[in-house]
Structure 1
Amino acid sequence: MKTSKHNFQDRLKSNIGSTANNHVNGRNRKKPMTYLGLALVVAGTAITVTGMHPLQAPQAALAVTQNPPDNLATARSSNFITEVVDRVGPAVVRIDSTHTVKHPTSDIFNDPFFREFFGSEVPSPPSKEIVQGVGSGFILNSNGEVLTNAHVVNGADTVTVTLKDGRSFKGQVMGADPVTDVAVVKIKSNNLPTIPLGNSEQLKPGEWAIAIGNPLGLDNTVTEGIISATGRSSSQVGVPSERVNFIQTDAAINPGNSGGPLLNSQGQAIGINTAIIQNAQGLGFAIPINTAKHIANQLIAKGKVEHAYLGVQMVTLTPELKQQINNNPNAPLSVDESQGVLVVKVVPESPAAKGGIRAGDVIVKVNNESINKADKLQQTVEETSIGSNLQLEIRRNGQTLNLGIKPGALPNTQQEG
């Protein structure tokens, strides 16, 4: 993922329907995001792991108290984190996946022309590589439906699910939705341990948060922290191609935690750990469980998810952005309004285009409710049924227009809408 750019055109760019509300002066520049899957590249039959450092022995041994004080023993026995881990930890799984990456450029080096002039000196790169990924997941129900991230299993040739008790199963991807980064994997078993689902709509900053997963291949790792914030938009997090309002936590999560649960103090799953900001500490993000549950139900029932789609590129309009657009002689449009959602581009033949929306329009109301943030408009579209009527009030060249738009289904080639 890229940081926000300095030039005007790049500041207005966003994925279809996503927000591009980065401050154009660069003060709100996004840091690159890292998904929490762990990947290894296998060349031939050998696996080479780089960038790993062996553990170093401590310089001095720690003193061990053979008979801890009674109050310490009591504190340990009443540790709610330990109780949560004991109760739901067996339902957290490790997910290993493989997929084949082909290298079409390798055929060039086998061309007789190269062989004639360069002979044995021509390099012979492998025609394909096997990429192995490691992630996490958790069991939704006792008959073997496992919730994880889409990027953990997307495009996988094989999926293996390993339980905490050591049992291993071949997994079948029931469906994966890259728009929300949610996937469901099925394993053939029954009477499996499960994790109860909480209500992410009721979360408040400061509540306890517990993460369980397989960071860097270290299975069944437990970390704790708090809910740092809720409702972080995809543009704030740095993944504008997704339609999720993320939970932010300072519980330590690392590559390999992808798909693992974020739990509350009662042991209920309140989110799916999914991403971190590179080179930052205490900034982890999870998909709210209410969103994940809604998507998972559709993946289990139909194997896919249909998202509502307008077909616009849009940006939150502010007085500062208005001034910068109008002062730029190369800007493709001018702006009269100071707030609302500015339509930067309309996709040809999209529902927005058919409904009469034009580039330069400023959307100020949706279904008679004022709207001044692109993220909010995107969320409203996501919650709208495909084919239903969406009433938009727009400002165009100083005039107010009311348009009825019927969202269509998000094309497979798009990530936003």
Structure 2
Amino acid sequence: MPPTRILSSVLPVLLCTALVPGLAASRMLPDFVDLVAENSPSVVNISTKQAPVTAPRLPDYTVPDLPEDSPLQDFFRHFFGEEGDFPEDDFQSRSLGSGFIVSSDGFILTNAHVVEGAEEIIVRTSDRREFLATLVGTDKRSDIALIKMDAEGLPAVKIGSSKELKVGEWVLAIGSPFGFESSATAGIVSAKGRSLPSENYIPFIQTDVAINPGNSGGPLFNLDGEVVGINSQIYSRTGGFMGLSFAIPIDVAMNVASQLQTTGRVSRGWLGVLIQDVTRELAESFGMMQPRGALVAQILPGSPAEAAKVEAGDIILSFNERDVPTSSALPPMVGLTPVGETVTLQVLRNGELQELTVEIGELPDEEQLATTEREPQRAVANPLGLFLRDVTPEQREELNVPSGGVLVEGVETGPADLAGLRAGDLIIRFDHRPVTDLASFNQILDEIPSGKSVAVLVQRGDGRMFHAIRVP
């Protein structure tokens, strides 16, 4: 190739490189050296001493008569003593984790499970100083703990915003995996808003940063050196890193820390609905073009949703003008809403969009919530004049009905009374469709046109029979 032709082909490339000086640099991996140097002093190692556990005592045992030179003599003396008694040794377990300084006067954020059951909390800074810390408060639901050590002029981290994070963005973790202090690992944000089975109220940040036992409670930094999350959980079958790590968003963590510092407890918003995902099949049955939203399966008694007339079968599409793409997106939105605030729900009900106003309540503690969720849902007298209740396991056993059905608890004057239904009847099918629970019965009833006569299959005692009811 002639020299002039070579120059003519190379020149445009050289010109492009000159015009875009950052092109080559943008393809380089980020440099974490300065970020680690600046932030390592703010990351601490946390160890705890927990209540002593007395070893179980064996029954009195007599050391057998063995020859003095028998190798078993040392064995029995070591474990049973001279008198044959098992020694009562006290053991103190120690947990190891990470944390980070959020204020120069000694407030530190970490995971609740790192300090759970601790009688003594020991904080070790990067310059090898050790401090005894006091527990300000913990929140098991978010796995956040706030502790305080008596010191001044400490290097605090810069707090960022997890809302600004983007999937694919570089992040850095500093912590003490397996007790190795000030270890730095880097990776990218893999996903946002992850809901884990252990906690539905936290929209976890998923990363591929190598997180191992001991990293718990440590900070997750963005490239600006701001904390955007607290490393909390790993998804692993071996107990070691497997490419799936989860961090609590710093916005959530700081909200929890603020409440712990001011009131010693954490309150969360509560709607009072049991929800499920909208599958492709369900979307089709509700006349939706594509699956989205959170399908309400049950309304808890005495809940804000019940007061706002939310119904089983409603699909919540937006919460306070924020889209609800999946059911897992709704609990964090509700949980972060201040108690007492009035919000709007956009729901799809019987193919029509409706707006409902709800005053957010306070999420009950886990014990109260479990009791509420177990309590069968009761309806007021419906248009048919029926008081209905979900069937308890004990009633199922008594009625010999393994699944499905809704129990008639009472009948007032109306179509059901005229049709001959009585308290104690079990409605098995309604309008030729199986009734699985109260929610499904209400959904079927809502879909039946006014004035239509429908067949109801009822079990009374050991027998079953159909009744005809006209929907008013």
Category of TM-score, reference length = shorter chain: 0.5 to 0.7
Task: Work out whether 1:251 is the aligned partner of 2:209.
Answer: yes
Aligned to 1:222: 184
Within 5 Å, which residues of 2 pair with 1:213-292?
A: 213-229=175-191, 231-234=192-195, 238-279=196-237, 281-292=242-253
Within 5 Å, which residues of 2 pair with 1:12-411?
A: 80-100=31-51, 130-229=92-191, 231-234=192-195, 238-279=196-237, 281-321=242-282, 339-367=292-320, 371-396=324-349, 402-411=355-364
Cα distance, 1:318–1:303 mapped onto 2, change above 3 Å: same
Aligned amino acid, residue 176 of structure 2: N
Contact 1:180–1:242 (CA under 8 A) maintained in structure 2:
no
Aligned amino acid, residue 291 of structure 1: V
Q: Deviations over 1:161-213 (max 9, x none)?
A: 11122211111121222222222110001111222122322222333222111
Contact 1:170–1:187 (CA under 8 A) maintained in structure 2:
yes
CA distance in structure 2 between the partners assigned to 1:391 and 1:293 by the alignment: 26
Cα distance, 1:372–1:203 mapped onto 2, change above 3 Å: closer
CA distance in structure 2 between the partners assigned to 1:277 and 1:179 by the alignment: 18
Cα distance, 1:136–1:370 mapped onto 2, change above 3 Å: closer
Alignment partner of 1:294: what SS? helix
Aligned to 1:120: none
1:380 positional shift:
2.8
CA distance in structure 1 between the partners assigned to 2:267 and 2:103 by the alignment: 24
CA distance in structure 2 between the partners assigned to 1:343 and 1:102 by the alignment: 46
CA distance in structure 2 between the partners assigned to 1:190 and 1:351 by the alignment: 45
Cα distance, 1:87–1:405 mapped onto 2, change above 3 Å: same
1:368 positional shift:
5.8
Contact 1:91–1:195 (CA under 8 A) maintained in structure 2:
yes
Larger radius of gyration: 2
Aligned pair count reads: 312
Aligned amino acid, residue 247 of structure 2: A
Aligned to 1:12: none
How does the TM-score come out when normalised to structure 2? 0.58
Cα distance, 1:397–1:204 mapped onto 2, change above 3 Å: closer
1:362 positional shift:
2.9
Contact 2:46–2:97 (CA under 8 A) maintained in structure 1:
yes
Q: Deviations over 1:124-183 (max 9, x none)?
A: 999997543211000111100001112222343322111122211111121222222222
User: For structure 1, which runs of at least 5 residues remain unmatched after alignment?
Assistant: 1-77, 111-123, 327-334
CA distance in structure 1 between the partners assigned to 2:30 and 2:273 by the alignment: 50
CA distance in structure 1 between the partners assigned to 2:349 and 2:30 by the alignment: 60
Contact 2:160–2:228 (CA under 8 A) maintained in structure 1:
yes
Cα distance, 1:364–1:222 mapped onto 2, change above 3 Å: closer
Alignment partner of 2:181: what SS? coil
CA distance in structure 2 between the partners assigned to 1:127 and 1:304 by the alignment: 37
CA distance in structure 2 between the partners assigned to 1:340 and 1:265 by the alignment: 34
CA distance in structure 2 between the partners assigned to 1:125 and 1:394 by the alignment: 66
Structure of greater relative contact order (alpha carbons < 8 Å, 6+ residues apart): 1
CA distance in structure 1 between the partners assigned to 2:222 and 2:324 by the alignment: 32
Alignment partner of 1:381: what SS? helix
CA distance in structure 2 between the partners assigned to 1:258 and 1:281 by the alignment: 15
CA distance in structure 1 between the partners assigned to 2:220 and 2:154 by the alignment: 20
